Amino acid sequence: MADELFREINALIGTPSNRYVDEWKAAGKPVVGYFCQYMPPELIFAVGALPLRMRGVGSEDSSHADAYLSGHVCTYVRHTINHVLEGHYDVLDGEISLNSCDHVRRCADVLRKKTSISFHGFISVPRNPRESLYGYYKNELQKLLSEMQDHFGVHISDDDLREAIAAMNANRIRLQLLNTLRREEKPKLSGAEALSVHIASQVLPPKVFGEVADRLMEGLKDRPGLASPRGRLILIGAELDEPEYLEAIESQGALVVADMLCFGERSVLDPLDENTADPLDTIARAYFFRSSCARMIGDFPNRWENLKQLATAVGADGIVFEKIVFCDPWAAEQHNLILRSKKEEFIPMLTLSREYGIVPTGQVKTRVQAFVEKIEIASAQKAASGDRRWTLAVISSIPPNGVISSKPCRYCRDFLMGIHTAMVCGHCCMRWQ
């Protein structure tokens, strides 16, 4: 039963729209697209519209978008805009852009000038989640809400916002339960399957997704757990709405038991207060101070701590970081992660660059396979040695460079990953045991 439901979900998320969106539109209700997790879908739902996360899924060519966008704009943006220009998002009555990055910011220009979408909203989000900047963000949401009310001819009360919060909360609880199942010792679903469900929550009407998720949870009860004999991984990085990418990673024997992706677990907030006296403030605070992404350049220390806590909670053996080529925010994040992980000797991390919409090549699978083998060697070493650390025994002779040091050279650090009872480095002549 669960396998059939996953096939159904993959069919629904395999195109920019789906039959439930078409049914919503046929009922005379508007559809509004949005790009980023800092745009609260509660506001869209409160005006009677369906919030639809915009994606480039299924696009094989970006030539129409390339006529208006630089070749240095990331392929996620170019393929998504290409879909709009080719009419695959004609279902939209409106779209909301924001300055999540310079590339998405350029989308707003093209969508306003080159499409027939009737409503264009824009919110400017500060790049540091500080209390002193929160008022600016809340004011941006207030202006957007007023613009949507004027355009769609509706009046939004606090009760309407509370109802929208309740609708989103119901699915947040479902997704949190699903995430719990993937973190078990023998997870009930793979990382690719979990990502498919998270994407579905952002492209289906809330009520429809709730029904699908309930059926899935029932089907997973009798499903045997998945073994992860070659390691438990966390996947982090840029926009990734392609379960096929996770399938390629997991084809090498490890399981992605958690992620920090904006289309995945990071899209799920804790339930909001449904009885709040100021629902707009409750919504704004939840989204502004949420688990941040790389665009929040001043929040890296918190992201690092969140990552370490998540790795401990799920018993992760390694981290896979992915970014899209030309993605500036996540390129900076990669630099910070590498430096911090080396400084604190955190668990192994693999970094991958990719293009949107391209099925992972043999090269990616080979790199993941080597990474998993590295994890296995480290685990075997830990088990065989009782988790002891290598210590310097003696300097065997004068090193070639004539410099005697009490610290390991870079070659020592590389070769100590091997399983030995003793090792002499041929570069600095240190003997380790």
Domain ranges of the chain: 2-220, 232-385, 392-432
Give the chain's mean pLDDT. Answer: 89
Average pLDDT of the residues in 86-100: 96
Percent of the chain with pLDDT over 90: 79
Q: Note the pLDDT of residue 381.
A: 74
How confident is residue 386, by pLDDT bands cut at 50, 70 and 90? low
How far the first Cα of the chain sits from its last, in Å, is 54
How confident is residue 165, by pLDDT bands cut at 50, 70 and 90? very high
How confident is residue 27, by pLDDT bands cut at 50, 70 and 90? very high
Both tokens of 311, joined, read 């790795």
29 pLDDT higher than 90: yes
Q: Note the pLDDT of residue 384.
A: 67
Q: Note the pLDDT of residue 363.
A: 84
Instruction: Provide the 3-class DSSP secondary structure of residue 242.
Output: coil
CATH T-level assignment (fold) for domain 232-385: Rossmann fold (3.40.50)
Residue 90's nearest CA partner among 150, 31, 153 is 31
Q: Note the pLDDT of residue 422.
A: 41
More confident residue, 45 or 364: 45
Q: Note the pLDDT of residue 379.
A: 77
Residue 246's nearest CA partner among 322, 301, 156, 170 is 322
Both tokens of 108, joined, read 């707003």
CB-neighbour burial class of residue 119 (10 A; exposed 0-12, middle 13-18, buried 19+)? middle
Average pLDDT of the residues in 324-350: 93
326 pLDDT higher than 60: yes
Tell me the per-residue pLDDT of 279-317, one tens digit each, with 9 for 90 and over. Answer: 999 999 999 999 999 999 999 999 999 999 999 999 999
Average pLDDT of the residues in 258-275: 96
Both tokens of 234, joined, read 């966390």
Helices marked H in 2-40 — which ranges? 2-13, 19-26
Q: Note the pLDDT of residue 36.
A: 93
The domain 2-220 is classified under which CATH number: 3.30.230.10, 3.30.457.10, 1.20.1050.10, 3.40.50.11890? 3.40.50.11890
Average pLDDT of the residues in 402-430: 47
How confident is residue 385, by pLDDT bands cut at 50, 70 and 90? low
Average pLDDT of the residues in 219-232: 87
Residue 31's nearest CA partner among 10, 50, 13, 18 is 50
Q: Note the pLDDT of residue 425.
A: 53
418 pLDDT higher than 60: no
Residue tagged 């970014």 (tokens)? 323
What does the alpha-carbon distance between residue 89 and residue 35 come to, in Å, rounded to a whole number?
Answer: 13
> Fold identical between 2-220 and 232-385?
yes
Residue tagged 């030539």 (tokens)? 63
What does the alpha-carbon distance between residue 245 and residue 5 come to, in Å, rounded to a whole number?
Answer: 20
pTM of the model: 0.88
What are the residues facing 97 on neighbouring strands? 122
More confident residue, 227 or 299: 299
Residue 199's nearest CA partner among 55, 334, 341, 75 is 55
Average pLDDT of the residues in 236-249: 94
How confident is residue 164, by pLDDT bands cut at 50, 70 and 90? very high
More confident residue, 362 or 232: 232
Residue 193's nearest CA partner among 238, 225, 161, 159 is 225
What are the residues facing 34 on neighbouring strands? 53, 96
What does the alpha-carbon distance between residue 372 and residue 33 come to, in Å, rounded to a whole number?
Answer: 38
43 pLDDT higher than 50: yes
**228 and 255 Cβ atoms separated by less than 8 Å:** yes
Q: Note the pLDDT of residue 190.
A: 96
What does the alpha-carbon distance between residue 219 and residue 198 come to, in Å, rounded to a whole number?
Answer: 17
Distances (CA, A) of 397 to 279, 379, 402, 403, 427: 71, 32, 10, 11, 11
Average pLDDT of the residues in 76-99: 96
Average pLDDT of the residues in 332-344: 93
Percent of the chain with pLDDT over 70: 88
Q: Note the pLDDT of residue 162.
A: 98
How confident is residue 411, by pLDDT bands cut at 50, 70 and 90? very low
Q: Note the pLDDT of residue 195.
A: 97
Helices marked H in 202-295 — which ranges? 206-220, 243-250, 279-288
